[in-house]
Amino acid sequence: MQKNNIFPYFQPIISITSGKIAGYEALARLYDDQGNIISAGAIFSCQDTPIEQLMDLDREVRWMALQKFAQLEDKSCYLTINISAAWIDHINNTSDLPTLEMLDKLQIDRSQIIIEITEGIANIDKLKAVVKTYRQHGLKVAIDDYGSGYSQLSRVIDLNPDIIKIDMNLFQLAVKGGIASDAVQLLSRFSKRLGCQIVCEGVEKMNQFLFGLECGAQYMQGFLFSEAQEKFQDPDRYKQHVTSLRAKFLSKKINSEQKKITRFQTIETLSYQLKEALQDDFNLNELSTLGFEEQGIFKFYLCNSEGTQISADFNFQNNSWFTDSKKIGLNWSWRPYFYQSVALYKCGIDNKVIISESYRDYDSGLLCKTLSLPLDKERILMMDIKNEE
C-alpha cells in the first residue's frame, strides 16, 4: 500500500451543553481495491510492518490532518490526534516531539489540540514524561478506550488526563443494563471526581445518547450525528438534534423522578408509622397490614447509637414476617446512612429519613437501598427496600 493512499478524515465531537460541534477526531482512512473509503486501522495493527514505518506513516497522516485543521476558521474548535501508547517507547527524546514541531510550523494554537493516548503497552515513566511535555506546551491529554485493555485505572491515575473517552464496546454493552452499566456508571463517577471531561464514543442510537447523559458525559461522538468525513462541518449543524434529544431525556427523567418521589413519600410515611409502633411492644402481624410489601420494603432491624445491631432482622415475605437473628451483634457504624442519622439527631433533627446509595444485598441478591431513622438517642431504625431496576 502506498503512503499517499492514506489520508485523514474528521469525525465531529458534539458538546452536550451547547449542541455545537466542539471538536473533531482525526482518523486515518484509505481506498480499498474497489475504490471504497475504509478505515486504515488494519494497517496500523499489522504485526508484520516495522513499527518505525508505522510511526512514519502515522506522522504523515497527522501532518495532513493538522494542515487541514490550520485552515479551519472556527478557532474555538479543537482537534484530537491519536497516538499509540506502544509507540512512546520508540521516542528517543521525550522533550522533542514531532507533533509540537508540526504545530509550530503551522502556527496552530496549542490549546486547540488534544493528544489522545490509545491502547498499547508502554513504559509508564516514559509515557508520563511525554504527557508532561505535551502539557508544558499547552496541549491537553485524553485517554482512549477507558475501561478496556491497557486503558485502566492505573493509567488514569498515573497520567491524570484532561479527558476520558469511554471504551466504545463497553459503552454500547452498558446501554443494555446489567453489570456493564454499573461499571460505566462507576467509571464515570470516578472520572468526574478527578475533574476529567467525559466523551462517549460509538453513539449510534437515541437510547445510547440518553444513557450517555445518564453517565454525565459532556461530549458525544458517533454515527447518531455523523461518521468521519473529509471536510469540517457547520458548528451548528446538529444543534437542533441535540436540543430535541436533551428534551426527551429531561422529560423521561422528570417522569422517573416524580415516580421515585411519590414512592419515597409513601415509604417515608410507613417508616414513621413503624417508628411509632416500635416505641412499645409490637405485633408483626399487625405491622404487615400497613403495606410494606407493596412498597418493596422487605426487612427492618434496630441498631444502637454505636452502630451495633441489637435486634433480629425482621424480614417480610409472602405477606408475613419472620425473624433472623444471625446478625445480632454485627456493627454497621461505618456505613454513611448510619452516621448521618446519628449526626442529624445530635443536631436536633430527629425525624428525617436518610437513604443510602443502591447496592446488591448479599443475602437476597436484591438491588436495594437502606433507609435509616432515629427512634431515640439510643436506637436507630434501619429498613431495606427493593430498588426499582
351 φ, ψ (degrees, to nearest 5): -135, 35
* Average per-residue pLDDT for the chain: 89
- Tell me the β-bridge partners of 143: 117, 164
Cβ-count burial 155-192 (b if 16+ within 10 Å, e if not) = bbeebebbbbbbbbebbbbbbeeeebbeebbebbeebe
What band does 17 get if pLDDT is binned at 50, 70 and 90? Answer: very high
- Amino acid residing at 140: K
For residue 265, give every residue at least 6 positions away whose Cβ sits within 8 Å of its Cβ, in sequence order, or none.
none
Alpha-carbon distance of 274 to 291, in angstroms, equals: 11
Q: What would the DSSP string read from start to end of 157-199? A: HHH--SEEEE-HHHHHHHTT-SHHHHHHHHHHHHHHHHT-EEE
Please give the C-alpha separations between residue 339 and each of 208, 306, 313, 356, in angstroms, as whole numbers: 38, 9, 20, 11
pLDDT at 44 over 50: yes
Per the model's pLDDT, the better-predicted residue between 78 and 155 turns out to be 78
**Once rounded to an integer, what is the mean pLDDT over residues 129-141?**
94
314 shares a domain with 230 = no
212 shares a domain with 69 = yes
Which among 3-7, 11-15, 375-379 has the top mean pLDDT? 11-15
90 shares a domain with 39 = yes
Alpha-carbon distance of 264 to 381, in angstroms, equals: 16
For residue 218, give every residue at least 6 positions away whose Cβ sits within 8 Å of its Cβ, in sequence order, or none.
15, 16, 17, 197, 198, 199
Q: What is the pLDDT of residue 2?
A: 42
**Once rounded to an integer, what is the mean pLDDT over residues 169-195?**
85
Alpha-carbon distance of 250 to 46, in angstroms, equals: 45
Tally of domains within the chain: 2
324 shares a domain with 221 = no
Per-residue model confidence as pLDDT tens digits over 320-361: 788 999 999 999 999 999 999 999 999 999 899 999 998 888
200 shares a domain with 323 = no
User: What's the CATH code of the domain at 298?
Assistant: 3.30.450.20
Per-residue model confidence as pLDDT tens digits over 87-118: 777 887 877 899 999 999 999 999 999 999 98
H or E stretch covering 18: none
Q: Is residue 246 part of a domain?
A: no
Q: Is residue 127 part of a domain?
A: yes
pLDDT at 149 over 70: no
User: What's the CATH code of the domain at 101?
Assistant: 3.20.20.450
277 shares a domain with 195 = no
Helix (H, G, I), strand (E, B) or coil at 330: coil
Domain that holds residue 131: 3-237
Q: Is residue 261 part of a domain?
A: no
- Indicate the length of the chain as a whole number: 389
Task: Give me the helices (H) in the chain, please.
Answer: 41-44, 51-70, 98-106, 124-136, 153-159, 168-174, 179-194, 206-214, 239-277, 284-287, 336-346
Question: Which of 216, 237, 258 delimits the end of a domain?
Answer: 237
Q: What percentage of the chain exceeds 90 in pLDDT?
A: 60
23 φ, ψ (degrees, to nearest 5): -170, -175
Alpha-carbon distance of 153 to 164, in angstroms, equals: 11
- On the 0-12 / 13-18 / 19+ scale of CB atoms within 10 A, 129 is middle
